[in-house]
Structure 1
Amino acid sequence: MDPVTRAAAFYKSSVLIEVVLVPALLCLILALVFRRRTELSWHAIQNTAATLLVVFVNYGFALWFFRDIAAAIQAGYDLLRIPQLDAAIWNGWPIWLLAVLGLAAKDLVDYWNHRLMHTRLGWPTHAAHHSDTHVNAFTAFRIHAIEMVMMTAGHIMMLTWLQMPHVIPAALILSGLHTMYVHMDLPWRHGPLKLLIASPSFHRWHHADVPAAYGKNLANHVPLWDKLFGTYYDPGPCRDVPMGATSSGVEDKDPVAILTYPVREWARMWSGRRSAKPARTKPSHV
């Protein structure tokens, strides 16, 4: 079986477990162990249902065109003619350490892609992820298909350049688990490790619908990238602030509106009519 076919098989087999069962378990833990009763509220259920509909449309698109997307990414990479590292550089390194290094490298590329998505032209692609007004473990997978392709292309190129293609599955598993964790409604901040490992409090500010937090905390896993590049925001625990992007005119419970938002926004920009609603692209301070 060739690598692309293996990757497609991996995604197909992991969708139900990673996208449905694990987040559902985490939500139940929050509700029953941490007494977050809002996890079982009607508002949460409506948002989660919209998330799952968006997810299955996106995963269906990704799997249907998996080979075409993979071929386009490879063709683009070949055109760049970037010299690769010597594969022997990683000989003898334990796979767990390579997975951690791969995750940090992936997050550096994702940080810059994420930052581009918080510009005026990039925001419509990323708005789907910010549309959830009840942020929980399921929110990790509320991502538009266009964003999925862009982010995946970026970190696959990075890990391929690093001669770490064998690390990609392990790095993606670690990334998925940690991404679900940081979207949970927990006050944890990770103390002295807060710049090395993103916490739920750190990432919750990224989803806060308050101007001071717009375009902040863009790293998914390593907040050090935000600290180095001027987008770090840590005023304390993120409590009693609105989540989502309704102030930007992004629906939270309508999957059709969420999926068509990029086309509608880009069409509005093309026609020269700016949205009357404030965008999530201009933080009050950077």
Structure 2
Amino acid sequence: MALANWLWSAIGDRFDLAFGAAGAYGAPAMVGALFCSLAYYVWRRRSRGRPISVRGFVRTIFAGRIVWNPSTIVDVKMWVLNGLVLAGGYGYLAFGNVFCRDATLAALEAGFGARTPAAWPAWIVLAMATLFELLAYELAYWFGHFLFHRIPALWEFHKVHHSAEVMTTFTELRQHPVEILAFMNLIAIATGAVFGVMTYAFGPGVQPFTLLDGNILLMLFLVTYGHLRHSHMWIPFTGVAGCILQSPAHHQIHHSDNPAHWDKNLGYALAVWDWAFGTLHIPGVEREKIHFGVGPTEDEFSTVPRNYLLPFVRFGAHVGRGLRRFAPQLGRARVRGSHG
């Protein structure tokens, strides 16, 4: 009985995390995405002088060629496994933000001693915490994303996400568990360090301005156009806005299999780190010709078991090749050392 209650509670927690008011797939996020989709549809139809209708909206936003695409079916299956089944396990294998904050605070106090918190106005501290948490979150996301693109062994895991041939909101969790855990830990370390430093400077209780229990800036992104990153809707931000914010078109370029688009637009909500590190590709107002996927190997990712297991095999092959290249050098170093 106790086990059944625990399982039921765990399932309830997973559903609340996903579909609650503050969840990524809760009503605020999904309704916001729907309104942004409607605005996109109306704008596109008016700009082309075409009539506007409910049927036209549904057919445009929920196109059958995308909804019933085999790639979408795989997205949905991995969304269920990653978001509802395995999410609890991911939490046990990740550093907590609070743990990283306390570890940072302890290290600062050990190195520099305790200090009297600065008496700054609360709204300034809250505003700083809001902005610094967002920048730290984005830097960790950019850095992890960069590593998974540029290191061949890690790319084998990230390739699962890029193998999507069409884009839907479910594509967000078409990810390998190794990638999910890596990003969770990097973000926890970065944001925890920010709050550790700010707690050292301003005392306990430092937190950002919040909306639905999350950083207000990240939540505003989520409850508006955040889910449209993985969609077929070409909504570009250009000019200065394109250097600061990731638009849906930014991320669609990121998923392109065109070599000119490889390793571009690695940020989540912000484009500032892409701008700073030279990985930014600002989309044009008119839709660019884009094909999603990973080219000739797309069929290798057509089933969920292959998406979970194949990256481990290929990761092992990369590691094996690296060890074989490294072994002769290590042997020569030992020979030289023996004559020293």
User: What TM-score, normalized by structure 1, do the two folds share?
Assistant: 0.74
Contact 1:38/1:44 (8 A) holds in 2? no
Q: CA deviation at 1:90?
A: 8.1
Structure with the higher fraction of residues in helix conformation: 2
Q: How does 1:1-286 map to 2 (within 5 A)?
A: 12-16=15-19, 18-19=24-25, 26=34, 32-33=56-57, 36=60, 39-41=63-65, 44-59=68-83, 60-64=85-89, 66-70=91-95, 74=99, 78=103, 83=108, 91-93=122-124, 98-99=129-130, 101-119=132-150, 120-163=152-195, 166-167=207-208, 169-171=213-215, 173-174=219-220, 176-177=222-223, 178-192=225-239, 193-234=241-282, 236=284, 237-249=286-298, 251-272=300-321
Contact 2:237/2:282 (8 A) holds in 1? no
Q: Alignment partner of 1:215: what SS?
A: coil
Q: Alignment partner of 2:149: what SS?
A: coil
Letter in 1 for 2:293: G
Contact 1:183/1:200 (8 A) holds in 2? yes
Contact 2:104/2:193 (8 A) holds in 1? no
Output the CA distance in 1 between the equivalents of 2:58 and 2:15.
32
Q: Alignment partner of 1:49: what SS?
A: helix
Contact 2:242/2:282 (8 A) holds in 1? no
Output the CA distance in 2 between the equivalents of 1:44 and 1:95.
45
Q: CA deviation at 1:115?
A: 0.2
Q: CA deviation at 1:251?
A: 3.7
Output the CA distance in 1 between the equivalents of 2:242 and 2:315.
37
Are residues 149 and 166 of structure 1, via their aligned partners in 2, closer, same or farther at CA, if it must alter by over 3 Å?
A: farther
Contact 2:104/2:192 (8 A) holds in 1? no
Are residues 96 and 106 of structure 1, via their aligned partners in 2, closer, same or farther at CA, if it must alter by over 3 Å?
A: same
Q: Alignment partner of 1:122: what SS?
A: helix
* Rg larger for: 2
Output the CA distance in 1 between the equivalents of 2:171 and 2:92.
27
In structure 2, the gaps of 5 or more residues are 1-10, 42-54, 110-114, 199-205, 323-340
Deviations 1:139-171 (A, max 9, x none): 222222211111111112222112188449513
Bigger mean CA deviation after superposition, 252-261 or 68-77: 68-77
Letter in 2 for 1:170: G
Q: Alignment partner of 2:165: what SS?
A: coil
Are residues 139 and 50 of structure 1, via their aligned partners in 2, closer, same or farther at CA, if it must alter by over 3 Å?
A: same
Are residues 188 and 64 of structure 1, via their aligned partners in 2, closer, same or farther at CA, if it must alter by over 3 Å?
A: closer
User: What TM-score, normalized by structure 2, do the two folds share?
Assistant: 0.64
CA RMSD of aligned residues (A): 4.0
Fraction of identical pairs, as percent = 19
Letter in 1 for 2:146: R
Contact 2:149/2:155 (8 A) holds in 1? yes
Bigger mean CA deviation after superposition, 71-80 or 168-177: 71-80
Letter in 1 for 2:185: A
Contact 2:156/2:315 (8 A) holds in 1? yes
Q: CA deviation at 1:70?
A: 3.8
Bigger mean CA deviation after superposition, 97-106 or 143-152: 97-106
